[in-house]
Structure formats: C-alpha cells, structure tokens
Amino acid sequence: MRNFKLWQSIVQEVSNAPMAFVKLCPGPSMLPTMNTSGSGDLVLADRLSPLLGRIVRGDIVVVRSPENPRKLITKRIIAMENDSITFLVDPQNSDKSESVVVPKGHVWIQGDNIYASRDSRDFGPVPYGLIYGKVFWRVSRQTLCCIFLWIHDTAFLLIVQSCQNPD
C-alpha cells in the first residue's frame, strides 16, 4: 500500500510538466460540459497561461484545491477580482442567493453542475496563485477510443509482421 502511494506521487510529480499536462476529470461537477461516463474526460491544460495572466471569466481552469493542496480540481472561473457576484447558495433545497465581492488577488470558481459541485460557494474565493493551469483541449471519449484502437491495431500488425518475417 505504501509503495503504491509512493508510485502514485512520483507519477503525479513527473506528469506535472511545466508546459502542459493531462488531467482526468472523473467528477460530476462539470456536467454537461464534461462527461463522467467511465472514468471521465481527459483534458489538456497548459501551465503558462496563469503565469502570464491570460485568464479571463469563463475559462475552465485547473486549480489546487484550497482544502487539500495535493488535489487538483477543474472548475470554471465565474468572476475575477473586484467583481461582485450573486450566487445560489444551495439550489437544490432553497432559492436563497448571496452576493459577495471578490477580493483583490482572488477569483471565484464554480462548477457547471451547481447541484453537485464543491466550489467557491463552499470555500470562498480562491487566491489567484492557486490556479495551476488553463484547460484548452478536451479529448472526447470517441477520440480516445479511436486512438486506443489505432494503437492496438498498429501494435497487433507489427507483432504479426515480425512473427512472419523470421528476422
């Protein structure tokens, strides 16, 4: 068990390249933008945009969770600093809404599926420095399946060919 966790953290460290990285989004908090069937969608995110300040309202970003710094969560930016935002506190049970002004240096993130999302409505505005990357590409499940099948077929053909030619 310990070894597995060690390997997991190593793989996580290695896969967080300074340029772009790949992330799996298995949770339901971004439906219907991102699917959750199977193990979720694969997204590509780049790490340069937050450092250059090229984040605007409406971007989907990957953020280090303020509750658990080892976790990365994917949400959408609803408001930047000095915006005032009105949000529904608990849309499933009540109609209550609150207004808040996002302080300087912070952003307000929310999942697209507000009924099942733990976001800034729970833990408040998030410091800008916690933004880890900006999502720019989503690999749909169809594309993933096609790529996987292609790899599988190519590998199969190569193996068959090498068996036939006694090299």
Partner 1 sequence: MPIDVNSNGEDVAEVNSREAKRPTTIQTGAYKPRATDAGVGKPPKHERKLTSTVWEHYEFLPPDKEAEANEFKFEVINTEVRNCMGSTSPFWNAIKASFTVGLISLTISDRYASISHVDGHSMSPTLNPSHKTFIGRLGVYVLHPILFSSAVVGYGFSCGSVDWASSLRLSHQHDTLKIREGHCWVEGDNSASSLDSRSFGPVPLGLAHGRVTHIVWPPHRIGRVERMSFHCRHGRAYLFDNVVNITVGEKEERLMMTGMHTVVDIFCVGCGASVGWKYEAAHEKSQKYKEGKFILERTTGYAISSVRGHILMAIIHIVLCGEGVRYKVYGPNGREYVNSQEAQLGSDTDEG
Interacting residues with partner 1 (CB under 8 A): 13, 16-18, 64-69, 104-106, 123, 126-130
User: Which residue shows structure tokens 């096609």?
Assistant: 146
> 45 - beta bridge partners?
21, 135
CA–CA dist 7, 14 (Å, integer) = 10
Is there a catalytic annotation at residue 39? Answer: no
To the nearest whole angstrom, how small is the minimum distance from the Cβ of residue 11 to partner 1?
13
One-letter identity of residue 71: K
**Which CB, 67 or 90, lies closer to partner 1?**
67
Q: Is 154 helix (H, G, I), strand (E, B) or coil?
A: helix
Secondary structure element (H or E) that encloses residue 15, with its range: helix 2-15
The catalytic residue among 23, 29, 49, 134 is: 29
**Which CB, 28 or 66, lies closer to partner 1?**
66
Is there a catalytic annotation at residue 23? Answer: no
The catalytic residue among 23, 49, 75, 117 is: 75
To the nearest whole angstrom, how small is the minimum distance from the Cβ of residue 27 to partner 1?
18
